[in-house]
């Protein structure tokens, strides 16, 4: 029997965190609607994989590991809806749903990784002729993807917490926190762990244009867990560094190429350049599931381009002349040589990354 409350219990007991982006109850997936945080905390219910794919595309849930876990749970919903079909049809329908979910967002490799982990259930159980049994195995796998992500974050926090300054400013970009993962967070997990162990850290959160993940989500979840956070516009980072207010920068990632190039929220590259110019360490915290050994370098990483309205409209109000041309790449790639270290659940990797990443 799967204990569906296990992720929340792990987070409360071992992570000291009350923030979680997804829940599973009575064979349905519930997502905390991140589009309307911090003002409204609304949980939306999902019962079909098509609805889950749309939720990922529309960013009800976002952040690479959270996208992967949501996709895995969406594939459990697919299994439920096709369980009465004969095995061959069951598998065909399930694979069609997997293809649809994979199209939801292109950059976060955790999505592909999680769906491949789910697909592996079929190849690992070639003799299984009972769809009911497969449904249970798929559900078990999805929950293990979720709880392993929390375990990974706790370990990333443990390793990375030691790299944080004993006191001072730590700047982060976007939201690589509990809301972007199965819980606890990668970059914010490192900060959570450092603070829990007595370090006196003041977090500077970039607001993160255009979607304001920093202002709306990072500020919200850090305040909720009682962590000292100060919000700034993205373009303030160089200035804050020049005034000696920032001792380290730490971000998450959507995909790390085999050479260590890091795709993350647009603006991360500028931040890494500013950190280098001020001789400040620039850390990337990510689980192994974010490392893509099949992508040789950042040049090959698909970068999602989203609709221009995300830039021309702020909170429903147009702020740009009608008809202006807009470019809205929502991720960028930071070359590996600007990265001081990558913090994973297996430990800390320093440049040159190529040999280390393949271990």
Catalytic residue numbers read 254
Helical segments of the chain, H only: 6-15, 49-57, 64-82, 87-102, 109-124, 131-161, 187-196, 213, 219-224, 237-242, 268-277, 309-312, 353-357
CB of 173 to ligand MRU, least distance (A): 7
Question: Residues in the site for ligand MRU, rule: CB under 6 A?
Answer: 62-65, 108, 174, 176, 180-181, 186, 213, 251-254, 264-265, 330
Q: Which two tokens stand for residue 130?
A: 């009972």
Spatial neighbors of 166 by CB under 8 A, at least 6 apart, are 199, 200
Q: How far is the CB of 14 from ligand MRU (least distance, A)?
A: 18
Smallest distance, Å, CB 100 to ligand MRU?
19
Q: How far is the CB of 233 from ligand MRU (least distance, A)?
A: 17
Contact 156, 284 (CB under 8 A): no
345, 288 contact by CB (below 8 A): yes
CA distance 313 to 304: 19
Nearer to ligand MRU by Cβ, of 49 and 183: the residue is 183
Rounded CA separation 347/359 (Å): 11
Tokens of 92: 């065909």
Question: Distance between CA 178 and CA 20 in Å, rounded?
Answer: 6
């Amino acid at each position: 029997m799967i204990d569906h409350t296990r992720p929340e219990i792990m987070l409360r007991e071992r992570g000291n965190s009350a923030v979680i982006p997804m829940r599973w109850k009575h064979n349905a997936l519930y997502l905390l609607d991140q589009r309307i945080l911090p003002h409204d905390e609304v949980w939306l219910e999902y019962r079909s994989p098509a609805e889950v794919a749309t939720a990922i595309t529309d960013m009800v849930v976002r952040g690479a590991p959270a996208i992967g876990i949501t996709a895995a749970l969406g594939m459990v919903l697919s299994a439920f809806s096709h369980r009465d079909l004969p095995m061959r049809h069951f598998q065909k329908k399930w694979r069609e749903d997997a293809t649809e979910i994979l199209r939801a967002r292109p950059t976060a490799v955790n999505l592909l990784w999680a769906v491949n982990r789910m697909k592996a259930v079929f190849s690992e159980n070639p003799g299984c002729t009972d769809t009911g049994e497969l449904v249970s195995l798929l559900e078990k796998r999805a929950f293990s993807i979720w709880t392993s992500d929390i375990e990974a974050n706790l370990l990333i926090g443990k390793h990375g917490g030691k790299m944080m300054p004993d006191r001072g400013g730590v700047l982060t970009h976007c939201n690589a926190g509990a809301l972007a993962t199965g819980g606890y967070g990668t970059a914010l997990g490192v900060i959570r762990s450092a603070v829990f162990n007595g370090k006196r850290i003041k977090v500077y959160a970039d607001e993160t244009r255009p979607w304001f993940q920093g202002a709306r989500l990072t500020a919200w979840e850090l305040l909720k867990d009682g962590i000292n956070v100060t919000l700034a516009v993205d373009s303030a980072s160089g200035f804050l560094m020049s005034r000696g207010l920032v001792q380290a920068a730490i971000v998450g990632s959507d995909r790390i190429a085999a050479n260590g190039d890091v795709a993350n929220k647009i603006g991360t590259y500028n931040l890494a350049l500013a950190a280098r110019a001020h001789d400040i360490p620039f850390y990337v915290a990510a689980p192994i599931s974010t490392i893509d050994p099949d992508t040789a370098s950042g040049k090959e990483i698909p970068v999602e381009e989203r609709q221009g309205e995300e830039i021309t409209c702020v909170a429903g109000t147009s702020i740009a002349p009608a008809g202006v041309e807009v470019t809205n790449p929502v991720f960028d790639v930071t070359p590996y040589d600007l990265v001081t270290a990558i913090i994973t659940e297996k430990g800390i990797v320093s440049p040159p990354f190529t040999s280390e990443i393949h271990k």
